[in-house]
Amino acid sequence: MRDIEYTYTLGMDETEVDEHLRTHRTGSLSLADDGEAYAVPVAYHVEDGAVYFRLGEHEGSEKMAFLDTTTRGCLLVYDYDADADTSWSIVVRGPLSRVDSDEFAPDERNPDYTPLRVFGESLDDLDPVFVRLDIDEITGRRTSS
């Protein structure tokens, strides 16, 4: 273990965490079902103490099956700059819930998200689903200068 290189990290303050969450638009949402984990890349939007996701639902969606069994989700947002040899990461945890689509008019919300990424499904078979993660725990770390 002595031959492994280490980098010291520091906790990020609330302002740094907020800035990174608001300017970085993608991360990995981790879900679980009875001890089995499932992570999915997501675009997100932060508003009023919550993180919102817009997901595409289709028949037989594994992502939605895991969403429905997860009571507390975990969002990981991070970045690494190889040129500067700096990195940061933020872990957000909290209860997950679907949001009634009547509360979000998709055309009005589109500027808040990157486009939905579609992998082989017909657009006619997808329904947009809005999901809310209420932030009750957040941790941010960055490399020391």
Dihedral angle computed from the Cα positions of residues 8, 13, 18 and 21, in that order, rounded to the nearest 10 degrees? 10
Per the domain annotation, does 22 fall within a domain? yes
Dihedral angle computed from the Cα positions of residues 122, 54, 38 and 75, in that order, rounded to the nearest 10 degrees? 160
137-143 and 86-99 beta bridge pairing: antiparallel
Per the domain annotation, does 137 fall within a domain? yes
Model confidence pLDDT, tens digit, residues 116-141: 555 555 555 567 788 999 999 999 99
Per the domain annotation, does 43 fall within a domain? yes
Residue 33 predicted with pLDDT over 60: yes
Per the domain annotation, does 2 fall within a domain? no
Number of domains in the chain: 1
Chain centroid, CA 121 distance in Å: 22
Per the domain annotation, does 4 fall within a domain? no
Tokens of 117: 């990424």
Radius of gyration of the chain (CA): 17
Q: Among positive and negative, which fits the CA dihedral 87, 76, 25, 117?
A: positive
Q: Which domain holds residue 37?
A: 9-143
User: Quick one: pLDDT at residue 113?
Assistant: 57
User: Quick one: pLDDT at residue 105?
Assistant: 55
Q: Residue 108 is part of a domain; what is its CATH number?
A: 2.30.110.10
Per the domain annotation, does 3 fall within a domain? no
Model confidence pLDDT, tens digit, residues 78-102: 999 999 989 999 999 999 999 876 6
Per the domain annotation, does 129 fall within a domain? yes
Per the domain annotation, does 97 fall within a domain? yes
